[in-house]
Amino acid sequence: MSSTAMKKKVLLMGKSGSGKTSMRSIIFANYIARDTRRLGATIDVEHSHVRFLGNLVLNLWDCGGQDTFMENYFTSQRDNIFRNVEVLIYVFDVESRELEKDMHYYQSCLEAILQNSPDAKVFCLVHKMDLVQEDQRDLIFKEREEDLRRLSRPLACTCFRTSIWDETLYKAWSSIVYQLIPNVQQLETNLRNFAQIIEADEVLLFERATFLVISHYQCKEQRDAHRFEKISNIIKQFKLSCSKLAASFQSMEVRNSNFAAFIDVFTSNTYVMVIMSDPSIPSAATLINIRNARKHFEKLERVDGPKHSLHMRMR
């Protein structure tokens, strides 16, 4: 443990084979090497060295399906694992045949959370929903959600149904991130003001590590409902290419006769994307506006109290 602030964790847990590694790889744009597909359960926690929302560190754990030796290790390390948890994301495989067992492991995780980090937020993802027939998805998800809500008491859990093959995964994680941003309503109001001042068509605020859309403002109806996910995928692909050259992505400008789009670093945890449909406004003007707004939004982040995780680094 570092001598400075205790890093808060995001726990990504679930049964072995429920899709956590794929999910992590897709959301955080991590390359999965072939041999990470292990034959057995994770012996140790998988730390990802990604700073998520400032100071959060992602920890990936396999839960359940272990033999007694593993069970003992798990229980002896339990307090270590569940201390300082900011977020618990628990992944359920919708096709799992051992519902009772899954619920049992989930409950023991919840007990540990209650003991060690009672303020943690709990999210449940019912994953691999593409394997269920389309007309049955809502029904099955509602059933699971009821069961999980019931089991989680007194903790409140938020449930999502997800699949890596449709927009539900991106939307679920965007909602999770949205709930983790402390003063998100204030951010949105400020974002709207900013957009109106610079006469932008649309302004998006992305989380830095995952390019999940935290908040957005649009002044008119847009045609493509999936544009957030597409932008996120494109930028993450570009980040992957940059990382091969040991470079890091900082900013991008795309311009043609119909529009100009700017993607740039904004605050310490966010990126901003500004779309201007008036080509007569020079790039320099927009870039200056973004730079000035940056200072304002940084101040916003700093406003809240010291116990906030986003603020950890400043201590």
- Binding residues for another protein, rule: CB under 8 A, are 22, 25-26, 29-34, 37, 130-131, 164-167, 224-226, 229-230, 233-234, 236-237, 240-241, 244
189 vs 241, beta carbon nearer another protein: 241
Rounded Cα distance, 272 and 292, in Å: 13
Smallest distance from another protein to CB 60, Å: 15
φ/ψ bin of 77: left (φ > 0), alpha (ψ from -120 to 50), beta (otherwise) = alpha
Smallest distance from another protein to CB 253, Å: 20
Nearest alpha-carbon partner for 269 in 248, 298, 290, 303: 298
Rounded Cα distance, 274 and 267, in Å: 14
Task: State the CB neighbour count (10 A cutoff) for residue 17.
Answer: 15
Residue 156: HSE in the Cβ half-sphere, 13 Å Cα cutoff: 2
Smallest distance from another protein to CB 10, Å: 20
9 vs 127, beta carbon nearer another protein: 127
| Cα→Cα distances 18→41, 71, 164, 303, Å | 12, 19, 12, 39
Smallest distance from another protein to CB 236, Å: 6
73 vs 165, beta carbon nearer another protein: 165
Q: Alpha-carbon torsion 63, 68, 73, 75, what sign?
A: positive
32 vs 99, beta carbon nearer another protein: 32
Smallest distance from another protein to CB 38, Å: 12
1 vs 225, beta carbon nearer another protein: 225
